[in-house]
Each structure stands twice: as structure tokens, then as C-alpha cells.
């Protein structure tokens, strides 16, 4: 599932609004390799970490308050579940971006 996530998240990162910057990176090879999407906005930073096993964690941190304001974790076993799983993450980040 990691390859499917990496392909999907690169497309998603390219579609981010101008007020948001996304960087996709892949971790070192391991038994349960991971990939990450880091997203920066003027008010918050977010990260989705996805492992080959299908497990994921998504978090958003308010920069000014230095605290986690969004956190979700789960498991995905189908490529068509990425949008449903990560839509709340992107929606929350977009709402933070629009506050500026």
C-alpha cells in the first residue's frame, strides 16, 4: 500500500492551494517502511505518516499555540479509501489557512 499512498499523496500535494506547501518524503527501507506528507500553512503545520502495513497517523499543530489541534489514526487497506480517510485532515488545514 505504500507505493499507492506515495503516488496518491504526490498528486494531492500538487493540488494544494497557494497558501499551503506540501513536501512528500519516503523513509529509509525497513520491514514497515513509511512515507510522509508535511504541509505548511501560515498558522499550522500538518503531517500524514503512512506505513506499508496500511496504518497511518495524521496530525496538525497550531504554530502559535504549539499544540496539537487535530489528530487521527487508522488503517487503510484499499487505495480508494485515501480520500475518505484524509479529507478531514485537508479540510481542517484549509480552514486554518483561510483564517489568515
Q: Distance of alpha carbon 82 from its chain centroid, rounded?
A: 10
What does the pLDDT average to over 48-61? 97
Higher pLDDT, 98 or 20: 20
**Res 94: pLDDT:** 87
Q: What whole-number distance in Å separates Cα of residue 28 and Cα of residue 31?
A: 10
pTM (2 decimals)?
0.91
Average pLDDT, the chain: 93
Residue with cell string 505548511: 40
Is a pLDDT exceeding 90 seen at residue 36?
yes
Is a pLDDT exceeding 60 seen at residue 64?
yes
- Are 16 and 22 a contacting pair, CB within 8 Å? yes
- Are 62 and 47 a contacting pair, CB within 8 Å? no
What does the pLDDT average to over 31-43? 94
Amino acid at each position: 500500500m505504500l507505493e499507492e499512498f506515495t503516488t496518491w499523496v504526490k498528486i494531492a500535494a500538487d493540488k494544494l492551494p497557494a497558501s499551503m506547501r506540501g513536501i512528500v518524503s519516503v523513509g529509509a527501507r525497513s520491514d514497515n517502511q513509511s512515507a510522509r506528507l508535511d504541509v505548511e500553512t501560515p498558522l499550522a503545520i500538518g503531517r500524514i505518516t503512512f506505513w506499508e502495513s496500511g496504518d497511518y497517523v495524521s496530525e496538525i499543530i497550531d504554530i502559535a499555540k504549539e499544540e496539537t489541534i487535530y489528530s487521527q489514526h487508522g488503517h487503510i487497506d484499499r487505495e480508494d479509501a485515501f480520500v475518505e480517510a484524509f479529507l478531514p485532515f485537508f479540510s481542517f488545514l484549509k480552514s486554518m489557512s483561510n483564517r489568515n
